[in-house]
Amino acid sequence: MTDNPGSLGRPKARTRWLPLWTALPLCALAGALAGGAYGKLKAPQYTATSYVVAVPTEKADPATALGFAQAYGRVATQLAVLGNAQVQAGVPVSELRRSVRAATSPDAPMVAVSATSHRAARAASIANAVSRALTIDANRTQDNTHVQLLQFSRATTPAAPSSASPRLTTLVGASAGGLLGGLGLLARPRRRVPAAADGAPVSVPGPAPAADLKR
């Protein structure tokens, strides 16, 4: 005999929740999948770099050449230079402004002109075209600046993409997913213990001893 006959054959309903710590590997897995998909679907980027050097004439000193190299590095991405380079590069100025970057060194009178493109050959062609246009534009004022700009090294076709590989994007996605999952656990609302009127926590009575039940 059972105390509750109506409960025969009726399974007990239980709700099982996953432990909170499982959010970390799940978020890391989701981030890894998203990062891997991004690395696979995104077109690779190639970067090529050309170098020009500022050389002082007989009427100038190396410090003057170094100062003009810094100025030429800022001018390399301006519309006046890019407008002259678009014909040789075969791309519009808008694409040149997006893909061309220039960098200088505080110790050497040299300007590095870098170009990025989805095609390796186009990246090299753009870098060489911009450095040539910069050289021509700078040498027009050579008599006034007493500094000559020469091409130091031509850009070559890159053999490998400069963008992140799918393996790297997968690792970055997994790290970001795990970090977001951990922050979500830390920021989750805490369960509050009910308090009495005076602010003290409410004590919950425990089960009565068996000896008290027989009285």
Amino acid of residue 55: V
| Per-residue model confidence (pLDDT) at position 200 | 56
Query: Cα–Cα distances in Å, from 149 out to 9, 73, 210?
Result: 93, 11, 100
Over range 168-181, report the average pLDDT: 74
Give the separation between CA 64 and CA 51, rounded to whole angstroms: 19
| Per-residue model confidence (pLDDT) at position 1 | 47
Over range 142-162, report the average pLDDT: 88
| Per-residue model confidence (pLDDT) at position 22 | 73
Annotate the chain with DSSP letters as a single string.
Answer: --S-GGGTT-PPP------GGGHHHHHHHHHHHHHHHHHHHSPP-EEEEEEEEEEE-TT--HHHHHHHHHHHHHHTTSHHHHHHHHHHHTS-HHHHHHHEEEEE-SSSSEEEEEEEESSHHHHHHHHHHHHHHHHHHHHTTHHHH-EEEEEEE-----SS--SPPHHHHHHHHHHHHHHHHHHHHHHSPPPPPPB-TTSPBPPPP-PPPHHHHT-
Query: pLDDT digit string (tens) for 15-37?
Result: 456 676 677 777 777 777 777 77
86 token code pair: 């678009």
Q: Which of 12-26, 48-62, 164-178 has the least mean pLDDT?
A: 12-26
